[in-house]
Amino acid sequence: MVLTHSVDANGADKAGVRWYELRKYPAQPWAVYQGGTFSPDAHHRWMGSAAVDQNGNIGLVYSISSSTMYPSVGYTGRLVGGSSRHHADRGDCGGWWWVPERGEPLG
């Protein structure tokens, strides 16, 4: 199970999407398996929604805007086997793949 909520990603009122993957093993309570905050650049992201497929790949869609971007919809995902860390470096999102909202190709 995956879930999201919006957070202040940098302590200076920049919105980001916090995500969690919960897992439940037999005879054990639900527990946070992994999670993090997706906020790889200067744009605000909020109102996220996440889903996980039968293979464990996670997809995340969210609203995005900033002073240089009209409100839009963005998306990203995380493939099974990706690292639990993620950060802002384009091309190395720690297991996350993402499509830049400006239409630039993945590189």
Report the pLDDT value the prediction gives residue 82, as an integer from 0 to 100: 65
Q: pTM for the complete prediction?
A: 0.71
For residues 16-45, give the mean pLDDT: 93
The full set of domain ranges for the chain reads 2-98
Tens digits of per-residue pLDDT, 2-14? Answer: 999 999 999 999 9
Amino acid of residue 42: A
Is residue 64 packed enough to be buried (19+ CB in 10 Å), middle (13-18) or exposed (0-12)?
buried
pLDDT above 70 covers a percentage of the chain that reads 76
Radius of gyration of the chain (CA): 14
Supply 54's token pair: 């039968």
Residue with token string 């999670």: 35
pLDDT above 90 covers a percentage of the chain that reads 50
Q: Which of 10-24, 34-48, 81-95 has the lowest mean pLDDT?
A: 81-95
Tens digits of per-residue pLDDT, 95-105? Answer: 444 444 444 43
Report the pLDDT value the prediction gives residue 89, as an integer from 0 to 100: 29
